[in-house]
Amino acid sequence: WIIVTSSLRAGVVICLRIGGTLSAHPSRVKELEAQLRDAKETERRYRDNVSDHFSMTADLVHHMTESYREVYEHLASGAQDLCSEEVAGKLLPTKKDAAFGDEASHGEISALVPPKDYAAKATPDQKGALAEDFGLKKPAPADD
């Protein structure tokens, strides 16, 4: 009994000492929680600043595009009014080359056909150019 009791007491004392050193002080926990709150608030402000920055950038680019369009239209009308047709034709791009064409160009884009990367077949059962054996001649059987 003495050995069991003394071992139990020693175990309790050791556990209390280890537990006391490992447990954080309440002030340290509060300090870490405050640091975490500050870090989260700083991150939130940073995200808000980034969102505001890119929103303003989008607005500025939109205004810049509109200003460019107005300058282009002013130059185009001035060239048509003040220059001969020959000079105006050299200064201004054609309708299809204009940077700010009509919205009808969307129909032109949808009418485009992507290039075909195969040769046309003479018959439906003929192998296409992408077939592995396209254009290869089979050797004639050897006569013995």
Domain count of the chain?
Answer: 1
Q: Greater confidence, 26 or 48?
A: 48
**Angle of CA points 80, 81, 84, to nearest 5°:** 65
Question: Would you say residue 17 lies in a domain?
Answer: no
Dist CA 74 CA 97 (whole Å): 17
- pLDDT at site 44: 94
Query: Looking at the predicted structure, is the pLDDT value of residue 129 above 70?
Result: no
Q: Greater confidence, 84 or 117?
A: 84
Query: Looking at the predicted structure, is the pLDDT value of residue 121 above 70?
Result: no
Dist CA 86 CA 84 (whole Å): 5
Domain that holds residue 74: 30-98
Question: Would you say residue 131 lies in a domain?
Answer: no
Dist CA 16 CA 143 (whole Å): 99
Question: Would you say residue 74 lies in a domain?
Answer: yes
What does the pLDDT average to over 111-138? 66
Dist CA 26 CA 23 (whole Å): 9
Question: Would you say residue 132 lies in a domain?
Answer: no
Question: Would you say residue 110 lies in a domain?
Answer: no
Dist CA 96 CA 81 (whole Å): 21
- C-alpha 65: how far from its chain's center? 22
* Residue whose structure tokens are 């001969």: 84
Question: Would you say residue 53 lies in a domain?
Answer: yes
- pLDDT at site 93: 64
Question: Would you say residue 126 lies in a domain?
Answer: no
Question: Would you say residue 123 lies in a domain?
Answer: no
